[in-house]
Amino acid sequence: MEVTIGRTLLRLVQGDITQQEVEAIVNAANSELTGGGGVDGAIHRAGGPAIHEECMRIRREKGRLPAGQAVITTGGRLKARYVIHTVGPIWHGGGHGQDETLASAYRSSLELAENHGLRTVAFPSISTGAYGFPVERAARVALGAVRAFLSRPEGQALEEVRFVLFSGRDLEAYEQALRGMASPE
């Protein structure tokens, strides 16, 4: 499924983010930037040690990465030239500003992409695995944050923002959220 927002194509696909041919893929990392399971583990495995080395350098220089913020490293052996590492919120029932932190993770990643002059970026479904965020709600927050970012008058640089959903169920949740947003309010 795809829609155009401003000049940017927003696409939802099912697949493995490590295989995407885009300039940057986004990693659902943890604040330590140490790597982990899920999409984080898959990206480090596919990209090789260069990503971990750069993450550790960032850790030494900047300390922990708070939830909602993002940093950029090489993509190592990935097809993508860069990996943008962001940290989503851990789900605690939704009442602790978790929607805003999740939106901030998407926004910070897009800002970083734009500041590096990148044109194509792929996101996984941040926080909906180990961090337990319900996927239907996360899909609304994620797509809302991306739409708001791309709708800014100055937000004209990105050609494509792609969501790469691992499961058919996740893809459906994102498609439904996108349909919900497209309908008149």
Tracing tokens 């590492």 back to the chain, one arrives at: 85
Residues binding ligand APR: what is the number (CB under 6 A)?
25
Helix (H), strand (E), coil (C) string for the chain: CEEEECCEEEEEEECCHHHCCCCEEEEECCCCCCCCCHHHHHHHHHHCHHHHHHHHHHHHHHCCCCCCCEEEEECCCCCCCEEEEECCCCCCCCCCCHHHHHHHHHHHHHHHHHHCCCCEEEECCCCCCCCCCCHHHHHHHHHHHHHHHHHCCCCCCCCEEEEEECCHHHHHHHHHHHHHHHCCC
Task: Return the residue of 103, 118, 124, 158 that touches ligand APR, per CB under 6 A.
Answer: 124
Closer Cβ to ligand APR, 37 or 134, answer by number: 37
Question: Cβ 147 to ligand APR, closest distance in Å?
Answer: 20
Would you tell me the crossing angle of helices 168-182 and 135-151 to the nearest 10 degrees? 50
Q: Taking CB under 6 A as the rule, does residue 125 contact ligand APR?
A: yes
Active site residue 40: yes
Q: Is 6 left (phi over 0), alpha (psi -120 to 50) or beta?
A: left
Task: Return the residue of 38, 97, 144, 155 that touches ligand APR, per CB under 6 A.
Answer: 38
Binding characters for ligand APR, 42-61, by CB under 6 A (x = yes): x-------------------
Task: Return the residue of 128, 140, 142, 149 that touches ligand APR, per CB under 6 A.
Answer: 128
Task: Return the residue of 127, 150, 161, 173 that touches ligand APR, per CB under 6 A.
Answer: 127
Piece of the chain touching ligand APR by CB under 6 A; list 5-13, 62-70, 111-119, 128-136: 128-136
Site for ligand APR in 7-36 (CB under 6 A): 16-18, 28-30, 36
Residues that bind ligand APR in the complex, under the rule CB under 6 A: 16-18, 28-30, 36-42, 88, 124-131, 164, 166, 170
Residues with catalytic annotation?
A: 40
